[in-house]
Amino acid sequence: MAKTAALSGFPEWLPAGRIVEQHVLANVQRVFELNGFASIETRAVEPMSRLASKGEIDKEIYVLRRLQAEEGDDVSPDKQLGLHYDLTVPFARYVTEYAGKLDFPFKRYQIQKVWRGERPQDGRFREFAQADIDVVGAGELPFHYEVELPLVMAEALASLPIPAARILVNNRKVVEGFYRGLGLSDIEAVLRSVDKLDKIGPAAVGELLARDAGANPSQIAAALELASISSPDASFVDRVRALGVEHELLDVGLAELAELVETAAELRPGTVFADLKIARGLDYYTGSVYETLLTGHEQLGSICSGGRYDSLAKVGNMNYPGVGLSIGISRLVSRILGAEMAAPSRAVPTAVLVAVTDESSRRASQKVAAALRARGIPTDVAPSAAKFGKQIKYADKRGIPFVWFPADAASDGAAEPDQIKDIRTGEQLPADPTTWEPPSTDLWPTVS
Amino acid sequence: MAKTAALSGFPEWLPAGRIVEQHVLANVQRVFELNGFASIETRAVEPMSRLASKGEIDKEIYVLRRLQAEEGDDVSPDKQLGLHYDLTVPFARYVTEYAGKLDFPFKRYQIQKVWRGERPQDGRFREFAQADIDVVGAGELPFHYEVELPLVMAEALASLPIPAARILVNNRKVVEGFYRGLGLSDIEAVLRSVDKLDKIGPAAVGELLARDAGANPSQIAAALELASISSPDASFVDRVRALGVEHELLDVGLAELAELVETAAELRPGTVFADLKIARGLDYYTGSVYETLLTGHEQLGSICSGGRYDSLAKVGNMNYPGVGLSIGISRLVSRILGAEMAAPSRAVPTAVLVAVTDESSRRASQKVAAALRARGIPTDVAPSAAKFGKQIKYADKRGIPFVWFPADAASDGAAEPDQIKDIRTGEQLPADPTTWEPPSTDLWPTVS
C-alpha cells in the first residue's frame, strides 16, 4: 500500500503512490490543455472578508496569524488571511482583479490544494487537491459551454485508471419551472427536501415537503415523480411532459437539458445521463448541474461536480457568468491506491543503473549516465562500488529494469564494449551509451 | 507584463506568465527525473513543535486556527499546526515517519509552495514555490553525492531561459580546519563575521573577528586571505596551502573540495567554482555548501543553495545524513518575467480554433475539434457563430495560429473539403481532421 496518513485529514503518499498521482494529474492536465484551457494558480490565502461571505462554509476555514504578530498588525476582516477552501472563490477574485488583462470568454484550469478546517475527529480530508475547469464570459456566456464542459471532464476521467464514470446532469430551470408550475413557491425548501432522497427515502422526503415547503399530497406525488426520472437520452422530456405541469421556465430548462444529453450521446456515448433527482448545488447554480459517480464506487459520492452560475464576479457594471466543474483529485487518488486499481511499474523514474567497479572509476560511470540522460533516458549511478551482486540488488529493489556495466567493469580487456543487463530476464548484451535505447515501455514508469 | 501582485508578498501570474512558470517547472522536473529522483509531496502543515525547533526562524511562521475552534480543540505545540516555511523540515519528518517503507539512499525531489509570515511591509515573498532535491542515506551517505547534486542543479538551471548560472562551493571542513589550525576556537563567531564580507567589507569584518572571535591581527589577515580565494579548478588548494596553516580537518576538506571542483570541471565545465568566502549555511551544514549566482543578476542573491548535513533525521539508533539543494522558483520566475528574459509564443494552449458557421452546425465543429484532439492537437471551438472576421480575431487576440473552417462553412458545395487558415500568413489550404498536422513548433506554446 502506497498510502499513509499520520496526521488525520492530511494525506501523503509514498513515492509509488505519488507516481500514480502524477499520472492522474498529467492526464487531466493534458486533456484540459487539449481542450484549450489555460493554467492559472492563485495564492493559497484570501482575505477573511472574501472567504466568509458564503455563509455556513465559514465553519471550515483555517485562519492564519503570524507567530510573532505585532501590535501594528491589521486583523480586520479585509486584512486577516485564511486558507482557501475551494478554487472558485479565488478564481472569482482573480477574474475581478485582472479582468482588464484577460481575454473573455476565459477558459482556465486550476489544480491546487485546498484546506478545510474540519474537526480533527471527523476523519474528513483537511488538505486535498482539486482540479477545476471553468469558462467565464464578460457580460454573457452561451449555453453551449454547459454542454462542452462536462464532456471535457468525461474525456479527462476516461484517461484515468478507474472504472467508467457516469456524469449525472440536471437543470435548475427544469426543477424550478416544474415546482412553480405545480404551485410551489419556496423553491429552496423543495430542493433541500429532495436532496435528502437517497438518504431518507421518498416517504420521509414527502413529509419534509409538506412541512417545509407547504406541499399538498398531489404536489408531493408530482415532485417525487419528477425526481424518479432518469435517462441516457432525451426521452426524459416526454416523461416530464406526461406529468402535465406547465411553466415557461420548465420549457427552457427541458430544451437545455435535452440538448446537453443529446449532444453528449452523440459525441461521447454512455457518459452523460439526465437524472432529475440531482438537487445538490441547485440552490446556487442557475442552469445545468453535474455530479459524477464512479461505477462500483458509488458510495464515494460525487467525484466531479459543478454547474452553471450567472454571476461568478462583478466588476463595475460588468457581470461575469460562468460554468465549471471540479474533480476531487486527492479523494480519487486515495481510492485508486486504497482499492489497488492501479500501480506503477516501478517506484523511481530510473530506467538504468550504471554500475561502479571501484570508486576510482566512478567518473567513467558518471559519464555513461550523462550520455544516457542527454538522450532522455532516466539514469542513476550506483551508490557504492560494492560487489556487482549488491549493485544489481539495489536496482532490483527499486524496480530499475537495466544495469549498465562500463567496459572496464564488464571485462578485463580494454577493447571490450560496455554491457547492459536486463535484470528481469538476465539477458546481457553489448551496448553503446550514445546509441542504446530501452524499449519505450521501460523508458519511464508506467501506471496500470 | 505577465506579473501582478495585488496582495503584497503573494505573487500571482497572468496566463502568459504561468506558461513561463510551467515551462520552468517542467524542465527542472524532467532533469530531476532523468537523474533518478523520485517525486514526493508533503502536507502544507506541520505541528508547531516541529516548526519551532529551529530557533530564530519561528518569527516567520504562519500559525493556523480553525475559525470555529471549539473548547475541546488541542492547541498544545504537538497539536497546533503551522504552514511549513521550507521543504527540509517536512522532508525530515517524512523520512522519520516512513523510514521503514523507503529505500535508502533515498533520492527525492519536491516542488511545492512554502509560506513565511513576514511583516507585510517588508516586501518579501510570503508565499513562494521551491524545487528541492536531496539524497538521504541510512546510517551513511558517501561523499560523491556532494559532487553529483550540484551537477544535477547545474543541468536543471541550464535547461531554463536564463543567463548562465555560477554555482559557488565551499566546505565546512576547509574553513573550520583552517580557523582551528590558526588557533581560533569560536568557529560560529568567525563564520558569522566572514558572512558579512560582501556587505561591510574586509576592514569591518576584521574588527568583528577581533571583537567576537578574539582574533589577533595575523589571524585576521589569514582569515581574510582565505576568504579572498576563488577558482574554477583545484588550483585553490596550493593557494590555501601557501597560507601555511595545518589541520587534519583542513586536509580532508581540501581533498573533498578539490574532488568536487575537478569532477564538475570535467563533467560540466564552467559551472562550478570554489569560493572560500561562502559562509552562509556553514553554521549548520557539515561538508559542502552551495550558492548560485545568475550572471548579470547577482544582486538577486543566491537562486539555488544547499549543502551537506550529517543528520537530517534520527529514528531510534539510526541516523540519516543527507545532501540537498533548493531552487527558489517563484523568485526566479518573477525575475524572468520582470526582466522579460522569456515569453510564451501564445497565452493559451490552443493551436487550432474551429470556426462555427451557425449555431445549428456547432456539433459538426465540435466533431472536428474532437478528431484533432484525439491526435494530440490542442483545439478550441469558436464561442459564437459570429462573422468569420470576428472568429479570426478571437484566435488572433490569443495567439492561436490556425483557424479551421468545416466544409459547410468554407463553401456552399457539399463535396468541398474543410479548410485550414494560418492566420499569421493568411495561407488557406484544404485539410482533413483525421490527417492534418500543425508544424511541431506550433503544436504547443513555446517559451523563448
What are the Cα distances from residue B144, in Å, to A393, A428, A436, B135? 20, 28, 26, 11
The answer to whether residues A144 and A127 touch, using CB atoms and an 8 Å cutoff, is no
| pLDDT score at A52 | 81
Nearest to A445 by CA among A341, A310, A347, A316: A347
DSSP for residue A399:
T
| Averaged pLDDT, B124-148 | 97
Q: To the nearest whole number, what is the mean pLDDT of chain A?
A: 93
Quote the percentage of chain A above a pLDDT of 70. 94
Residue range A297-322, pLDDT digits in tens: 999 999 999 999 999 989 899 999 99
**Which positions 265-304 of B are in contact with A (Cβ < 8 Å)?**
266-267
The answer to whether residues A13 and A3 touch, using CB atoms and an 8 Å cutoff, is yes
Residue range A355-374, pLDDT digits in tens: 999 999 999 999 999 999 99
With an 8 Å Cβ cutoff, are A63 and B64 in contact?
Answer: yes
Place B72 in a pLDDT band, splitting at 50, 70 and 90. low
The complex's ipTM?
0.95
On whether any CB of chain A is under 8 Å from the CB of B113, the answer is yes
Model confidence at A1: pLDDT above 60: no
Q: What is the DSSP string of B376-441?
A: T--EEE-SS---HHHHHHHHHHHT--EEEE-HHHH-SSTTPPEEEEETTT--EEEE-TTT----HH
On whether any CB of chain B is under 8 Å from the CB of A142, the answer is yes
Q: To the nearest whole number, what is the mean pLDDT of chain B?
A: 93
Angle between helices A15-34 and A329-338 in degrees, nearest 10: 130
Cα atoms in the 13 Å half-sphere on the side-chain side of A147: 22
Model confidence at B4: pLDDT above 70: no
3-state secondary structure of A65: strand
Place A284 in a pLDDT band, splitting at 50, 70 and 90. confident
Nearest to B289 by CA among B262, B259, B312, B323: B323
**Closest chain A residue by Cα to residue B116:** A66
3-state secondary structure of A304: strand
What cell numbers appear for A401 in the block? 529494469
**Closest chain A residue by Cα to residue B352:** A36
**Which positions 321-350 of A are in contact with B (Cβ < 8 Å)?**
347-350
- Compute the distance between CA of residue A253 and CA of residue B306 in angstroms, rounded to an integer: 60
Q: Could you tell me whether strands A288-294 and A165-171 are parallel, antiparallel, or unpaired per DSSP bridges?
A: antiparallel
Give ∠ CA A400-A402-A408 in degrees, rounded to 5. Answer: 130
Residue range A332-344, pLDDT digits in tens: 999 999 999 999 9
- Residue B325 host element (H or E): strand B318-328
Note the residue count of chain B: 448
What are the Cα distances from residue A418, in Å, to A361, A390, A403, A415, A434? 14, 19, 11, 10, 11
| pLDDT score at A66 | 86
- Compute the distance between CA of residue B422 and CA of residue B429 in angstroms, rounded to an integer: 9
CB nearest B18 (choices: A40, A62, A67): A40
C-alpha dihedral, B10 to B13 to B14 to B16, nearest 10°: 180
On whether any CB of chain A is under 8 Å from the CB of B262, the answer is no
- Compute the distance between CA of residue B234 and CA of residue B222 in angstroms, rounded to an integer: 20
**Closest chain B residue by Cα to residue A393:** B103
- Compute the distance between CA of residue A38 and CA of residue B347 in angstroms, rounded to an integer: 7
On whether any CB of chain B is under 8 Å from the CB of A1, the answer is no
| pLDDT score at A384 | 96
**Closest chain A residue by Cα to residue B373:** A34
On whether any CB of chain B is under 8 Å from the CB of A66, the answer is yes
What are the Cα distances from residue A244, in Å, to A205, A226, A231, A252, A276? 22, 11, 19, 16, 16
Q: What is the DSSP string of B4-73?
A: E-SSTT--EE-HHHHHHHHHHHHHHHHHHHHTTPEE----SEEEHHHHGGGGGGGGGPEEEEETT--TT-
**Closest chain B residue by Cα to residue A59:** B68
Q: Which residues of A touch B120 (CB under 8 A)?
A: 73
| pLDDT score at A3 | 44
With an 8 Å Cβ cutoff, are A6 and B97 in contact?
Answer: yes
Nearest to A372 by CA among A300, A293, A442, A437: A437
The answer to whether residues A286 and A215 touch, using CB atoms and an 8 Å cutoff, is no
Nearest to A63 by CA among A41, A88, A45: A45
| pLDDT score at B56 | 52
What cell numbers appear for B423 in the block? 492566420
To test the contact with chain B by mutation, choose from A12, A19, A330, A384 the residue with the greatest count of B C-beta atoms within 10 A, namely A12
What cell numbers appear for A211 in the block? 412541512
Quote the percentage of chain B above a pLDDT of 90. 85
With an 8 Å Cβ cutoff, are B347 and A397 in contact?
Answer: no
On whether any CB of chain B is under 8 Å from the CB of A29, the answer is no
Residue range A410-437, pLDDT digits in tens: 555 556 899 999 999 999 999 999 999 9
On whether any CB of chain B is under 8 Å from the CB of A56, the answer is no
For A235-255, b/e burial (b = at least 16 CB within 10 A) is ebbebbeeeebebebbebbbb
Give ∠ CA B360-B365-B369 in degrees, rounded to 5. Answer: 155
pTM of the model: 0.96
CB nearest A378 (choices: B10, B34, B47): B34
- Compute the distance between CA of residue A377 and CA of residue A395 in angstroms, rounded to an integer: 15
Q: What is the DSSP string of A182-216?
A: HT---HHHHHHHHTTHHHHHHHHHHHHHHHHH---
3-state SS string for A322-375:
EEEEEEEHHHHHHHHHHCCCCCECCCCCCCEEECCCCHHHHHHHHHHHHHHHHC
For A343-379, b/e burial (b = at least 16 CB within 10 A) is bbebbbbbbbbbbbbeeeebbbbbbbbbbbbeeebbb
| pLDDT score at B58 | 53
Q: Order across the sheet with A127-136: list the strands.
A: A38-39, A106-115, A127-136, A318-328, A304-315, A288-294, A165-171, A272-275, A230-231
Q: Cβ of B361: how many Cβ atoms within 10 Å?
A: 15
Nearest CA to CA, how far is A47 from chain B (Å)?
A: 9
3-state secondary structure of B289: strand
Q: Which residues of B touch A384 (CB under 8 A)?
A: 142
Which of A360-364, A425-429, B67-71, B388-392 has the lowest average pLDDT?
B67-71
Which of A200-204, A281-285, B2-6, B164-168 has the lowest average pLDDT?
B2-6
Model confidence at A166: pLDDT above 50: yes
CB nearest A14 (choices: B98, B266, B348): B98
Q: Could you tell me whether strands B272-275 and B165-171 are parallel, antiparallel, or unpaired per DSSP bridges?
A: parallel
Nearest CA to CA, how far is A156 from chain B (Å)?
A: 12
| pLDDT score at B121 | 67
DSSP for residue B344:
B
